[in-house]
Chains A and B, each alone.
Chain A
């Protein structure tokens, strides 16, 4: 069964450094998402992306965050200058259609630890 893959599985970064999290969505999916889960808290929506544009973003997704689809298969999340509170699990997801009646499929996540 096709799946969303994320790399790396664990990223340790010094505060203030830039980090790029990578995702390969399911190949025939057109809609891409990033979510995060801070330890002990809910999974929270960050951003959605379609047709090389951000479709929607949450208030968490401030100017320090950016997303890109640099080629036909990868989807990346960049945090420009990391803060301690950015430490979390980051999940990439994709869906075949953007309508609410299609499930989003998630990768196994990248654990980001900011020191």
Chain B
């Protein structure tokens, strides 16, 4: 039950905003977000737990709507360093993550 991410790819100019969505067909306990730069390993960004919370990390924030079984990642005033592939990972209960296929974000000057 791999979560579905959208869009698959997005190109932004520096300073623009983006939203990446992650949807699951299963009830979720938590959603994780990771970023992977080309040729590197995925790096953890944040966890959102059941409860509909929203979290922030510099200019990157995320929300989790457990009723809709979806999460969104918000990138504001994008920087060149934001480029990479963003993965959401979802868990139902105390189970390991299932990752989506990723959203490729390219920020250009």
Binding between chains A and B? no
Give B residues with C-beta under 8 Å from A: none
Give A residues with C-beta under 8 Å from B: none
